[in-house]
Amino acid sequence: MRIVLLGAPGVGKGTVAALLSQKYGLPHISTGDIFKEEIRKASPMGLRVKAIVESGALVPDSVVNDLMKDRLSRTDVRSGFILDGYPRTVEQAKAMDSFATPELALNFSASRRTIIERLSGRRVCPKCGAIYHVSNNPPKKKGICNGCNEKLITRKDDEPAVISNRLDVYDRVTRPLIDYYRSRGLLAEINSDCPIGKIDRIIEQCVKALSRVGNNG
Ligand SMILES: [Zn+2]
């Protein structure tokens, strides 16, 4: 099964991707992880990506497409994959169709209120990078990292005003992508607007959508 996940930041698709990956034995491939891996290996592409990211610019479609084409030609994706963070634009989707056409695009959506609640509750340890959530995954001692006793911080990206702006950008860039997959009959809507801890409700919807693909071989 070749599955693509779409959805705004904070919609819970990373968590769901990890669970689906386990359930179906498919690799969970995220562009963020691929960037990090290439940078770590200091490959020519990695060095290029590093320079772009450090300049604060977005990695251009052509670079992302090359990386994904390479990743999706490896043997571990023979029976399929779960893609998280790619494609992000219609241009990327068109490029992807030339080397690995998805069979299904799961579009996760939640209300703005839910997303802001989830993201703005996130706290990060500036020392070790551990991520907590004030209600979902609180540290043992309020505001303090379990591992290193460091005071936790809120990333600038997770402040409500910034989240709102990130969601606007996401909507603008991704709406055409949703239409692209809908017009090809590949879109399944997943309502992920449920309380934290009720993730099985989201998984159920995904399994149902995926069973359609499974039945087609
Ligand atoms: Zn820490």
pLDDT band at 217 (very low <50, low <70, confident <90, very high): very low
If we measure between CA atoms, which residue out of 132, 136, 115, 158 comes closest to residue 7? 115
178 is a domain residue? yes
Helix axes 31-41, 44-54, angle to 10 degrees: 110
Residues of the chain with pLDDT > 70: what percent?
97
Which pLDDT value is given to residue 136?
Answer: 82
What is the rounded distance in angstroms from the CA atom of residue 65 to the CA atom of residue 54?
20
Which pLDDT value is given to residue 169?
Answer: 85
213 is a domain residue? no
215 is a domain residue? no
User: Quick check: 188 and 107 in contact, CB under 8 A?
Assistant: yes
Which pLDDT value is given to residue 160?
Answer: 86
pLDDT band at 215 (very low <50, low <70, confident <90, very high): low
Q: Point out the catalytic residue in the list 13, 71, 118, 123.
A: 13
Can 123 be counted among the known catalytic residues? Answer: no
User: Quick check: 55 and 68 in contact, CB under 8 A?
Assistant: no
Can 155 be counted among the known catalytic residues? Answer: yes
Which pLDDT value is given to residue 196?
Answer: 66
149 is a domain residue? yes
Q: In terms of pLDDT, which residue wins out, 118 or 154?
A: 154
What is the rounded distance in angstroms from the CA atom of residue 188 to the CA atom of residue 201?
15
Average pLDDT score over residue span 153-176 = 87
Q: How far is CA 203 from the centre of its chain?
A: 15
Can 175 be counted among the known catalytic residues? Answer: no
Strand partners, 124: 131, 153
Average model confidence (pLDDT) across the chain? 89
52 is a domain residue? yes
What is the rounded distance in angstroms from the CA atom of residue 49 to the CA atom of residue 39?
7
Which pLDDT value is given to residue 87?
Answer: 94
> What distance in angstroms lies between residue 32's CA and the mean position of ligand 1's atoms?
21
Which pLDDT value is given to residue 24?
Answer: 93
pLDDT tens profile 83-102: 998 998 999 999 999 999 99
In this predicted structure, the answer to whether residue 68 has a pLDDT above a threshold of 80 is: yes
Which pLDDT value is given to residue 214?
Answer: 62
CA angle 106, 15, 17 (to 5 degrees): 45
pLDDT band at 161 (very low <50, low <70, confident <90, very high): confident
What is the rounded distance in angstroms from the CA atom of residue 170 to the CA atom of residue 212?
28
- Number of domains making up the chain: 1
Q: How does strand 122-124 pair with strand 131-133?
A: antiparallel
Q: Point out the catalytic residue in the list 155, 175, 208, 212.
A: 155
pLDDT tens profile 39-64: 899 988 889 888 887 887 778 899 99
> CATH no. for residue 175?
3.40.50.300
106 is a domain residue? yes
The half-sphere exposure of 89 on its side-chain side, counting CA atoms within 13 A, is: 12
pLDDT band at 200 (very low <50, low <70, confident <90, very high): confident
216 is a domain residue? no
Average pLDDT score over residue span 189-211 = 87
Question: 3-class SS at 195?
Answer: coil
166 is a domain residue? yes
Can 184 be counted among the known catalytic residues? Answer: no
Average pLDDT score over residue span 175-192 = 94
Q: What's the token pair of residue 9?
A: 């930041």
In this predicted structure, the answer to whether residue 124 has a pLDDT above a threshold of 50 is: yes
Q: Residue 21 sits in which domain range?
A: 2-208
At a CB cut-off of 8 Å and minimum separation 6, what does 60 contact? 52
Task: Name the residues around ion ligand 1, CB cutoff 5 A.
Answer: 125, 127-128, 130, 145, 147-148, 150
Q: What's the token pair of residue 36?
A: 């990090």
Q: How far is CA 42 from the centre of its chain?
A: 24
